[in-house]
Chain A
Amino acid sequence: MNLVTPAAIEIHQVHKRFGSVEALRGIDLTVHQGEFFALLGPNGAGKSTLINILAGLARADSGRLAVLGHDVRADYRQARRALGVVPQELVYDAFFTVREMLRFQSGYFGIRNNNSWIDELLEHLALTDKADAYVRHLSGGMKRRVLVAQALVHKPPVIVLDEPTAGVDVELRQSLWAFIQRLNRQGHTIVLTTHYIEEAEALCNRVAMLKQGQVVALDTTANLLNRHTAIQLRLKLEPACLPDSLQRLSCGRDGEIFKLSLNRHAELEGVLATLREAGVGVADMELLRPDLEDVFLELVTA
């Protein structure tokens, strides 16, 4: 570990077992400072368990985790100060208003007068007019935003969002992401888990995919997209027949559309040349780029 600039999150050989279920099987993961990082995986892959262990809500059976170089057990005070977690469950304390909750949360982190930052958070999360409302009276989307505000009261350099947009409508989701992206530009490290894979694709520089408690892929979003899934070429041909020499690329037929699978865009030129030589015309053509969901499905079902 580099002591000058420690990783935002360092996870080394983390194992966790619940009874007979091995939830995490030797997770190794490093998230660098300033990254926008996605943790993807199907339900039960171990994402929330990993986040809970990082946040101190659960304890690893073995392995080491550190936030900005602070061990989450031995140096838990520093580690927790560096970390802001938006929990997945829509939890709230029925006794208090939004502002009271945010003041308490500031106090727990040792911050006394935090009103100006609390006001700023409320404004960015469109909660200003709900500041004195009881959290129990707010809609699901608003409760979610209160959770985001609570996670940010102490301006944590590392922010972990566990399914932050579940149940939040499209418009608010956009403004939430704009806010999180701004925090990222200001230097905050962001780690998110989400079921909306297109969100991860649009926002994150790097992605880790978890399956059954193991990291099955860890790379930049661009590399994952390039590496894993072929580009699909959809062709409408006249006459409607695919030359024999192109059969090896065929991946099925959709009515009169022939589907070919290419590894690189450069192969397109060869396909078109072969068609021309065979006297087959192209009536319509479409190129489908792989998205993160394809990569995800490929890895998860592998």
Chain B
Amino acid sequence: MTGLWTLFYKELLRFWKVSLQTILSPLVTTLLYLLIFSHVLEAHVQVYPGVNYTVFLIPGLVMMAMLQNAFSNSSSSLIQSKMNGSIVFMLLPPLAYWEFYTAYVAASVVRGAVVGLGVGLAGLWFAPVSLAHPLWALAFALLGCAMLGAAGIISSLWAENYDQMAAVQNFIVVPLTFLSGVFYSIHSLPPFWQAVSRANPFFYLIDGFRYGFFGVSDVSPQLAIVIVAACFLALSLATLLLLESGYKLRK
């Protein structure tokens, strides 16, 4: 297991060494969203009865930051290693494909959790948020980060340059997180867009995570966790199969 631990530690050290960019910068961006949206909308919008809009917004923003950063962590680390060739240092040793998967996903979970925790704690300064069901929130947080960590591996294996990698991030991951109900409840949408939102797995992550805070959600947390777990398993299986086959790594 030394190989797995080393790779995991290397991945942690990598993002820690550039923490201005990997932790502080997403933290600040997310808090700007919070500041602006809560200022503009707080007086006008109440999504759940008795829940102030800023309080409603915070869990969504925490989850959004976690998902985007978990994805960024594995994807940017791997694409950089691929592009500058230092991936050979991980391909020459006797590391198994599942160790590779575990180390990268675990590091993504840690990065997502650190950023999410930062956003959550800073959010307390804006509004008091309490956790009605902490274990539900934790389960959705961990599954969400792990799912996006795996998605980051798949994307960076597929991408052949930074441009393609950025395209996945900007045209798939960011829209899916923004359109998942971070800023609103999907019940406020027209029926068609409600149906579209239900096809977005990120919706279940945000909705389930929010249930952990308020005990209220658009769909039942049981259904959400089953869908999220299924997505996580499917992405993990795909990642493991790609890694085992040496897809775009071992010619």
B contact face: mostly helix, strand, loop, or mixed: helix
A101: chain B residues at CB < 8 Å are: 89
Which B residues have a C-beta under 8 Å from some C-beta of A?
2-3, 5-7, 9-10, 13-14, 17-18, 80-81, 84-86, 88-96, 246, 250-251
Rounded to whole angstroms, the CA-CA distance of A104 and B4 in the bound complex is 11
0/1 interface trace, chain A 218-261, chain B, CB 8 Å (1 if under): 00000000000000000000000000000000000000000000
Chain A residues in 8 Å Cβ range of B89: 91, 93, 101, 104-105, 108, 150
Question: Is A80 touching B85 in the complex (CB atoms < 8 A)?
Answer: no
A213-B84 Cα distance, complex, nearest whole Å: 27
Report, as a range, how many residues of chain A touch the other chain. Answer: 35 or more
A109 and B13 contact, CB distance less than 8 A: no
Contact yes or no, B6 A57, CB < 8 A: no
> Which of A81, A91, A105 contacts B85 (CB under 8 A)?
A91
Q: Is the pair B251, A109 in contact by a Cβ cutoff of 8 Å?
A: no
A sample of 10 more A-B contacts (CB under 8 A), given A57-B92, A95-B17, is A56-B91, A77-B94, A83-B92, A104-B6, A104-B10, A105-B93, A107-B9, A109-B94, A111-B2, A154-B93
A100 and B93 within 8 A (CB): no
The answer to whether B251 and A57 have CB atoms under 8 Å apart is: yes
- Can you report 19 residue pairs joining A to B where beta carbons are below 8 Å apart? A78-B94, A80-B94, A89-B85, A89-B88, A92-B84, A96-B10, A96-B13, A103-B6, A104-B7, A105-B89, A105-B93, A107-B7, A108-B3, A108-B7, A108-B95, A109-B3, A109-B94, A110-B3, A111-B2
Q: Report the Cα distance A125→B9, complex, angstroms.
A: 27
A34 to chain B, nearest CB (A): 23
What B residues does A77 contact at CB under 8 A? 94, 96
Q: How far is the CB of A205 from chain B (nearest CB, A)?
A: 26
- Separation of A150 and B90 alpha carbons in the complex (Å): 11
Q: Give the docked Cα–Cα distance between A109 and B1 (Å).
A: 10
Which single residue of chain A is at the shortest CB-CB distance from B84?
Answer: A91
Contact partner of A95 (CB less than 8 A), chosen from B7, B14, B93, B94, is B14
Interface contact A93-B251, CB-CB below 8 Å:
no
Q: Considering the complex, which residues of chain A in the window 47-95 have a beta carbon less than 8 Å from any beta carbon of chain B?
A: 52, 55-59, 76-78, 80-81, 83, 85, 87, 89, 91-95
In the complex, A17 Cα to B10 Cα: how many Å? 35
In chain A, positions 139-166 with a C-beta closer than 8 Å to chain B are: 150-151, 154
Contact across chains for A95 and B13 when beta carbons are under 8 A apart: yes
A151 contacts which chain B residues (CB < 8 A)? 92
Fill in one digit per residue for A98-126: 1 if any B CB lies within 8 Å of its CB, else 0: 00110111111111100000000000000
A59-B93 contact, Cβ under 8 Å, with A91-B86, A95-B17, A110-B2: no
Instruction: Give CA–CA (A92, B9) in the complex, Å.
Output: 18
In angstroms, Cα B18 to Cα A83, docked, is 33
Q: Is the CB of A110 within 8 A of B94?
A: yes
Residue of A55, A95, A100, A108 with most partner-chain B CB within 10 A: A108
Q: Which residue of chain A has the shortest Cβ distance to B14 in the bound complex?
A: A95
Residues of A with C-beta under 8 A to B14:
95-96
Closest residue on chain B to residue A49 by CB atoms: B251
* Given A57-B250, A59-B251, A107:B88 Cβ within 8 A: no
Given the known A-B contacts A56-B92, A80-B92, are A95 and B18 also in contact in the complex, defined by CB atoms under 8 Å?
yes
Decide if A57 touches B10 in the complex (CB within 8 Å). no
